[in-house]
């Protein structure tokens, strides 16, 4: 990994937050039309179909993919099966702005997971930045009323998205440790479709459990079809490609800071399409989170 952040890499890492902000808004729009686990499963089925003409050879018997099935299955569980499913579940009870603001704690989880599980040292500035980011997340969780934290009154969606950020941190660090042969790792479509192949097993299992345990139904129509096409092509295929490439260039710790752009994009998109104007505490939370980024990134 080259730790220098070039303008091209910065642009590469800015596109995923924009697409993921749109993913949060779309997930909120269709949350009454389709169950969250089912939405995640259908999203990746479509993404798989989009990539299949580009990388079908990697699925053949004898492909190098099968020798690394355990690692690819773990990547599929964290990045395909859990991360977006938990976000869609969070959007059942929370707003896109809240979900993306809480998800801004990803840099904190990146530093923690890197230090505990991958032996990456953490500087004092990074700790100070992490504390600022945590303060920003607490502002969102408390809705700007600190007494709510003492009463432990949290919206369920906020907790789901915290679990999602933890899954994404592990996914990103695993992704930064290349262990697959160049034949697989060097072909972005093949590497992504390999993750999706195993991830579909997990997401399909979660969707089946949803249908077995909850009274669910799908309201088909053009709004849902358009939403599925968007989240499959943009936040899935394009965003995952850009994130994987940018993260390999600069590492998870630096790349993780770019996820904090997602709330800004989500606020703009929510105001434009959902009429959900941000509150004062959202602004305070964003200032604290950005302050954490600045402090952590300084050398």
Residue-level pLDDT, tens digit, the chain, 299 residues: 555 677 888 888 889 988 988 888 888 889 889 999 999 999 999 999 999 999 999 998 888 899 889 999 999 999 999 988 898 888 888 777 677 777 777 777 888 888 888 877 777 777 777 777 777 766 765 666 666 555 545 567 778 888 988 998 898 888 877 777 777 877 888 999 999 999 999 999 999 999 998 888 899 999 999 999 999 999 989 998 898 888 778 777 777 777 777 776 777 777 777 676 667 777 777 777 777 666 765 55
Q: Are 26 and 230 in contact (CB under 8 A)?
A: yes
**Residue showing tokens 């579909």:** 200
- Please state the pTM of the whole predicted model: 0.80
- Residue 220 CB partners (closer than 8 Å, separation 6+): none
Helix (H) or strand (E) holding 126: helix 124-141
pLDDT score of 198: 95
Q: What is the pLDDT of residue 97?
A: 66
DSSP one-letter code for 60: S
pLDDT in the model for residue 131:
76
Q: CA angle 179-167-214, nearest 5°?
A: 130
Q: pLDDT value at position 222? A: 92
Could you tell me how many residues make up the chain?
Answer: 299
Q: What is the pLDDT of residue 111?
A: 80
């Amino acid at each position: 990994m080259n730790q220098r952040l070039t303008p091209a890499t910065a642009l590469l890492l800015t596109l995923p937050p924009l697409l993921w902000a749109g993913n949060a808004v779309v997930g909120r729009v269709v949350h009454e039309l389709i169950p969250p686990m089912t939405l995640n499963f259908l999203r990746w089925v479509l993404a798989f179909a989009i990539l299949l003409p580009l990388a079908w050879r990697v699925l053949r018997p004898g492909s190098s993919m099968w020798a690394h099935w355990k690692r690819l299955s773990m990547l599929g569980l964290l990045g395909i099966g859990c991360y977006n499913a938990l976000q869609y579940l969070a959007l059942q009870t929370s707003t896109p702005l809240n979900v993306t603001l809480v998800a801004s704690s990803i840099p904190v989880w990146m530093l923690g997971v890197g230090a505990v599980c991958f032996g990456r040292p953490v500087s004092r500035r990074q700790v100070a930045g992490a504390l600022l980011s945590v303060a920003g997340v607490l502002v969102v969780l408390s809705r700007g009323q600190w007494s709510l934290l003492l009463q432990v009154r949290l919206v369920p969606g906020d907790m789901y998205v915290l679990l999602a950020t933890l899954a994404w941190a592990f996914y990103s660090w695993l992704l930064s440790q290349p262990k697959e042969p160049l034949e697989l790792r060097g072909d972005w479509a093949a590497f992504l479709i390999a993750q999706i192949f195993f991830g579909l097993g997990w997401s399909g299992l979660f969707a089946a459990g949803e249908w077995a345990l909850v009274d669910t139904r799908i309201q088909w129509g053009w709004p849902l079809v358009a939403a599925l096409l968007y989240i499959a092509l943009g936040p899935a295929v394009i965003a995952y490609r850009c994130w994987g490439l940018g993260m390999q260039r600069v590492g998870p710790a630096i790349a993780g800071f770019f996820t904090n752009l997602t709330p800004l994009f989500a606020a703009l998109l929510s105001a434009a399409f959902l009429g959900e104007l941000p509150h004062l505490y959202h602004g305070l939370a964003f200032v604290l989170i950005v302050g954490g980024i600045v402090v952590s990134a300084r050398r």
